[in-house]
């Protein structure tokens, strides 16, 4: 996880602690999750490779939702 920006790792950890990362489905290629936004007003479809949140669509950096999913995959 050291390759990610520390503030995003912190936010991803908060999402995990809040139970905001919900498994939707798993395929041979990837696992897809529903991730609730920090303020609870939106949710995003997230996999390790992509996320449909605004930051994920810009793809300049990995978003906190994808980092949370990566953490789940590392733990399993």
Written as tens digits, the pLDDT of the chain (76 aa) is 888 999 999 999 999 999 999 999 887 778 999 999 888 899 999 999 999 999 999 977 789 999 999 999 999 8
Asked if residues 32 and 51 have their Cβ atoms less than 8 Å apart, the reply is no
Q: Report the distance separating Cα 58 and Cα 18, nearest Å.
A: 25
Q: What's the predicted TM-score (pTM) here?
A: 0.89
Asked if residues 51 and 63 have their Cβ atoms less than 8 Å apart, the reply is yes
């Amino acid at each position: 996880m050291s390759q990610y920006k520390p503030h995003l790792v912190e936010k991803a950890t908060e999402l995990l602690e809040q139970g905001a990362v919900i498994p939707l489905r798993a395929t041979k290629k990837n696992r897809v999750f529903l991730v609730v936004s920090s303020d609870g007003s939106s949710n995003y479809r997230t996999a390790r490779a992509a996320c449909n949140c605004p930051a994920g669509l810009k793809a300049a950096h990995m978003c906190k939702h994808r980092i949370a999913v990566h953490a789940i995959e590392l733990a399993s």
